[in-house]
Amino acid sequence: MATGVSEVADERASGTASLTEDIARRALLVLLISVTINLIGTTAYSPMLSIYARDLGATGLWIGLLYGGFYGIRLVLGRPIGVFSDRVGQRRVLLISTAIYPLLAVLYAISPNIQALVGTRLLHGIASAMMLPMAMAYVGLLSREGSAGRYASYFNFANFLGMAIGPLIGGLIVAYVAFKGPFYLLLMLSALNLPLIFWLLPDINQSATAPSRLQTEGRRFQIDRVTAGLFAYNAVVNANTILFVSFLPLLAKAIGLSILQGGMLISTIYLITSASQIPFGRLSDSISPLLLVIFGGIVAGTCLLVLAQIDAFAPSMAVVCVLALGGSAATAGLSAIAVEAGRRRSMGRFMGGFHSAASFGMIAISVGAGIIFDSIGIKAVFVVAGLVTLALLTPVALLLRGTPEVGR
């Protein structure tokens, strides 16, 4: 183990790593651990953030700014940060981001009023725009020809695993330790993450991993068929992710389920998504990833429609399990296409745009679902989400079909 750490540290000190198979495997492991740690820390306080805001005197508008501003910052800064990362390297951007998180933890804990809390949340949006998109870009650079789906699935596994574990730990800390305890957990985990990336994550660049493609296809970001189709459906898939967190508890309450049962439904979605990412990722390297997107979209969209018609816990859990598998398949397919598209273009810039599209979907669902909920009701939110998920499949499939990024 000491030898492995020494080799990675030597590569890091020398600049850009010579990407041998051993170094790539170690770098991938380090990055996946870092992403999981980051997501556990940043989602641990999700069960209490809105309550914390209310305690600081937040109105509904301020709570909207607290969440919407976060995704708005990610939407605006995603691509510029991607451009910056292509110039200086994804590892340096990850280091900057990781260095901000301990500060965020302290600022969250000591916020004296709602204005300070929203300001901290906006700073968090900047750090988040530098973390997850650039981590996915780094994973994309590590991937080899024909392995885009498998490598993307590793990233998604770490991502959803952290999202599944964090709220559970945070809820326990709030219940049994201290209300602000999740912020101190974020501080400890962030302090662990910084040396992990600094000492063990080597520098790599795209010209070293795919020079011929960059020479023939260039680095300029363009809105083409693949970009349009990929970004559009990534917005839909990520909008549904926020729908589960924000509105599934309201649906659960409307049909008479307890808070615990609602939490179980949400945790089940993330745990199944995380557990199924690697199998779906490997499958996307064997068949067309577009088939996974289509299959997953049909399953997820149909389940959203069915979920709105159910009034009991057991059938809701059954539908949620199938829904999670459909969403996972679509996520794996989209991620595989995105990695291949990034390899053919400019990885950091493309992943920045890919995640900006996700942020747009999260903002759109927050606003749109809120309007539908107020005017029609909670079940209509899931019906509309299901219809949109199904309706966009045909144009997206037509845009992506036959492109080199989709392949088979």
What does the domain layout of the chain look like in residue ranges?
A: 1-205, 212-408
Q: Residue 16 in 3-state DSSP?
A: strand
Q: Which phi-psi region, left, alpha or beta, contains residue 258 (left: φ > 0; alpha: ψ -120 to 50)? A: beta
Query: Euclidean distance between the first and final Cα of the chain, in Å?
Result: 40
1-205 shares its CATH topology with 212-408: yes
Q: Which of the following CATH numbers is that of domain 1-205: 3.40.50.300, 1.20.1250.20, 1.10.460.10, 3.90.580.10?
A: 1.20.1250.20
| Predicted pLDDT of residue 14 | 43
Question: What are residue 203's DSSP bridge partners?
Answer: 16
Tell me whether residue 261 is exposed, middle or buried, using C-beta atoms within 10 angstroms of its C-beta: 0 to 12, 13 to 18, 19 or more. middle
Give the rounded distance of the alpha carbon of 298 from its chain centre: 21
- Residues with pLDDT less than 70, the chain: 1-19, 205-223, 407-408
Question: What are residue 16's DSSP bridge partners?
Answer: 203
192: which 2 tokens?
Answer: 């662990």
Span 285-322, pLDDT tens digits: 999 999 999 999 999 999 999 999 999 999 999 999 99
Q: How far apart are CA 267 and CA 47, in angstroms?
A: 12
Q: Is 130:309 a contact under the CB 8 Å cutoff? A: no
Angle subtended at Cα 242 by Cα 240 and Cα 247, rounded to the nearest 5 degrees: 90
Q: Residue 224 in 3-state DSSP?
A: coil
Span 134-185, pLDDT tens digits: 999 999 999 887 888 999 999 999 999 998 898 888 888 988 999 999 999 9
Q: How far apart are CA 96 and CA 92, in angstroms?
A: 6
| Predicted pLDDT of residue 263 | 76
| Predicted pLDDT of residue 214 | 43
| CB neighbours of residue 310 within 10 Å | 17
Tell me whether residue 197 is exposed, middle or buried, using C-beta atoms within 10 angstroms of its C-beta: 0 to 12, 13 to 18, 19 or more. buried
Q: Give the total residue count for the chain.
A: 408
* Superfamily of domain covering 212-408: MFS general substrate transporter like domains (1.20.1250.20)
- Smallest CA-to-CA distance from 182 within 326, 297, 51 is with 51
Alpha carbon distances (Å) from 254 to 220, 344, 394: 49, 47, 33
Q: How far apart are CA 322 and CA 164, in angstroms?
A: 17
| Predicted pLDDT of residue 23 | 85
- Smallest CA-to-CA distance from 355 within 3, 78, 37 is with 78
| Predicted pLDDT of residue 217 | 42
| Predicted pLDDT of residue 63 | 79
Rg (CA), the chain: 20
What whole-number percentage of the chain has pLDDT above 90?
55
